Amino acid sequence: MTIMDRFRLDGKVAVVTGSGQGIGRAIAWGLADAGADVVVNARRVSDLETTAAGVRERGRRALVVAGDIRDFSEELADRTVGEFAKLDVWVNNVGGSDDKTVRALLDTPDEVFRSQLELNLTSAFQGCKAAARRMGDGGVIVNITSGAGTRGSPFTGPYAAAKAGLINLTQTLALELAERGIRVNAVSPGPVITEAYRQILGVEDKLDELIRTIPLGRAGDPDDIAAMVVFLCSPAASWITGEHHLVAGGRTSRSYQYRPKEPAQAPGLKPEDRAV
């Protein structure tokens, strides 16, 4: 076996939640490129069919399982095992916010806070349980988190709190599942300008300003995140577990306000621009 062979996922079966578009779709296609069959999940069937078609174009099998992942993980896992007779990889990619209002934490209604925890933390917890119960030794779980969970995050507090919890959940599960050889890692994307990002933050008129906060000088691409996920799911990462990987062009909790060559009169970022 060569070193490049260790990046392959031939014969593996992977589940990717939130894979109807954007980063989730890129992850599904990346896993298929590496040789895995992929179960895709999101709420909109039309989006999932497009993702599944891309998996099949890459020579792999795809299964579409539509549904809101909240309280759906057990059914999703059962459908996966029923179709493919096993489950090797589970990627919790679902996240974001059903509430588009930017507000201070103390102004956040309780029901909004609970909803954010349910979507960004509880659903991932359920996915981890459903996956681990069906995995053999050597399975892999990857949780898509956020840099917002590593620092104070004004005006997106509930989301950041949920993502911070997901990072800790990742670390705890990695320790608890290590005896079974199941690896659990987290990946936090930096600013990747997907459609969901545009809807939440409205960055079109200030994209240049946002990019000035990224040391490598560009926004992310969904494939940037997919590449990290594929690596973590592969045998090449067989000695990595319990880690939080920030994929953000050098934008960290300490440098996310980095601005080289900023014009003297350029306006500063609004609070909502700092959510990712």
User: How many domains is the chain partitioned into structurally?
Assistant: 1
What is the C-alpha separation between 150 and 66, in angstroms, rounded? Answer: 31
Give pLDDT, residue 200: 59
Q: Which domain holds residue 129?
A: 4-274
Question: How many of the other CB atoms lie within 10 Å of CB of 172?
Answer: 12
Give pLDDT, residue 19: 98
- Indicate if 197 belongs to the active site: no
Global pTM? 0.90
What is the C-alpha separation between 125 and 131, in angstroms, rounded? Answer: 10
**pLDDT one-digit tens code per residue, 210-245:** 888 899 999 999 999 999 999 999 999 999 999 999
2 burial via Cβ count (<10 Å: 0-12, 13-18, 19+): exposed
CATH of the domain at 53: 3.40.50.720
Q: Are 196 and 96 in contact (CB under 8 A)?
A: yes
Cα-only R_g, the chain: 18
Average pLDDT, the chain: 90
β-pair partners for 14: 38, 89
Higher pLDDT, 71 or 254: 71
What is the C-alpha separation between 254 and 112, in angstroms, rounded? Answer: 28
Residue among 68, 67, 231, 92 at smallest CA distance from 163: 92
Give pLDDT, residue 207: 80
Q: Are 146 and 192 in contact (CB under 8 A)?
A: no
Which member of 159, 197, 256, 258 is catalytic? Answer: 159
Give pLDDT, residue 274: 39
Q: Are 107 and 139 in contact (CB under 8 A)?
A: no
Q: Give the tokens for residue 155.
A: 């005006």
**pLDDT one-digit tens code per residue, 10-68:** 999 999 999 999 999 999 999 999 999 999 999 999 999 999 999 999 999 999 999 99
Tell me the pLDDT band of 252, cut-offs 50, 70 and 90: confident
